[in-house]
Amino acid sequence: MGKSQKSGFEDLITLHAYIDEPSSPTLVGTEFILNGLQDAEIEQAKKLFLKFNDIRVIEETRFGQVLSNLGNSGGIFINGVLVANEDNFLFSYNITSLNAAIKKAMNRERTNVGRTAYANTVKSILLECNSQEVAESLSADLSQYSYGSNHDELKWIDIQQHAAKILNNFKKVVFVTAEDIERGTDIVNEARLGGFDVVTIPNNLRDKIAEQNEGEETDNRVRIFTEFVQERNENFEFKIVNENELSFAEKQVWQKKDKIFDLIGGKPYQVLQVVISETMQKDTTTFMQAAAVWEPLTRRIIIWRPILNNEQKFCGTLLHEVAHATSGATDATRIFESELTRLLGIMGIKAVNHQ
């Protein structure tokens, strides 16, 4: 080894290797003899190479490997050589597929390569991962989002989305926002009692997952809160109440249904039956107990029993569901609103003329 002028830069003196004829022509390989070094310095140097570190490979992808952490930080290796340390990374990574940004950022010492050079490749590695171990680690870290203590990989929205997707494949999990918990506390508790892991996620991730779900088959959808409520409602069983089981006051209100139908010109042909239920589905928008529901397949209107405690509410609820039946439209649509307005107009005219 020696120091010489750098080629093309005569004013710079750099370290060079001088090559002589081999003293032992039969020796296979190269033997290095390093003088004046302590064992601790050798060990420190060896830590720059993945081969000499006690790091476990968690998952391999075509872009590189996900590794266990390097002590208390994440190590970034390129083809087994350490180039950077990330204090707030969840994993360490060995990049084996080098893009132009990484090649440009590489220097002779292979150290202090900036995050901008390898960030996209780290993302690509994580997006290729499908193992349960990676998914659980990412999702556990994601659940710390509301506390502001998650690692830097989980600040990338596409990694958050991928973590939710692969965890959904391995476990019974429901992804909820803080708003979902506040508005639908009882449903969240019901999910937990049903054996689901509840993972809190930010609103922007919920929106990305909802958008992704639109193009997926039902079995492949990530179970966010609205998906869970819909599944719950589809598997819901009503507890139908026989008219004879009603109290005298409830019967008085219930019998008003025939008069309401008479006022709008008779029970619509779309409605085969009107029944009462002790139990009721949750509304998919407010997550509150629905007052009633129209079932197109069975052609029946199901009214929640407590509605019979209020004559005015019963009348409004019945007309609301009739409008669904006759219009074939859902809430907050122009067709539904127009049909409901028509029914209210009929009732209004008859009420005014009666006066």
Kindly state whether residue 133 falls inside one of the protein's structural domains: no
Q: Is the dihedral of CA 196, 197, 199, 205 positive or negative?
A: negative
Average pLDDT over residues 209-229: 87
**Do residue 91 and residue 180 come from a single domain?**
no
Report the Cα 94 to chain-centroid distance in Å: 27
Number of structural domains in the chain: 3
| Cα Rg, the chain, nearest whole Å | 34
Q: Give the residue numbers spanning the domain of 17.
A: 2-127
282 or 321, which is more confident?
321
Of 61, 92, 127, the position where a domain reaches its end is 127
For residues 31 and 133, the model is more confident at: 133
Say whether pLDDT at 287 is over 70.
Answer: no
Asked whether residue 23 falls in the same domain as residue 51, the answer is yes
How far is residue 169's CA from residue 258's CA, in Å, rounded to a whole number?
Answer: 50
Q: Which of 139-143, 179-183, 284-288 has the lowest mean pLDDT?
A: 284-288
Domain end marker among 77, 100, 127: 127
355, pLDDT greater than 60: no
Residue 177 domain-assigned? Answer: yes
Last residue of a domain, one of 234, 263, 286: 234
pLDDT band with cut points at 50, 70 and 90 for residue 111 = low
Of 349, 334, 331, the closest CA to residue 263 belongs to 349
Quick one: pLDDT at residue 250? 95
Are residues 210 and 325 part of one domain?
no
> Does residue 137 form part of some domain?
no
Q: Is 116 found in the same domain as 15?
A: yes
Mean local confidence (pLDDT), 183-201? 86
> How many CA atoms, within 13 angstroms, populate the side-chain half-sphere of residue 201?
31
Mind listing the pLDDT tens digit for each residue in 27-41? 888 778 888 889 999
Confidence band (pLDDT; 50, 70, 90) for 72?
Answer: confident
CATH assignment at residue 333: 3.30.2010.10
Considering the domain architecture, whether residues 246 and 334 belong to the same structural domain is answered as yes
- Please answer whether residues 205 and 160 qualify as being in contact, where contact means their C-beta atoms are separated by less than 8 angstroms: yes
Task: List, for residues 7-21, the tens digit of each pLDDT value.
Answer: 777 788 888 888 888
Mean pLDDT across the chain, nearest whole number? 87
Across the range 137-161, mean pLDDT stands at 82
* Position with higher pLDDT, 103 vs 108: 103
Does any domain span residue 205? yes
DSSP string, 19-75: ----SSTT--S------S--HHHHHHHHTTBGGGS---EEEE-SSEEEE--BTTBEE
The answer to whether residue 136 is domain-embedded is no
Q: Are residues 8 and 121 in the same domain?
A: yes
Single-letter amino acid, residue 280: M
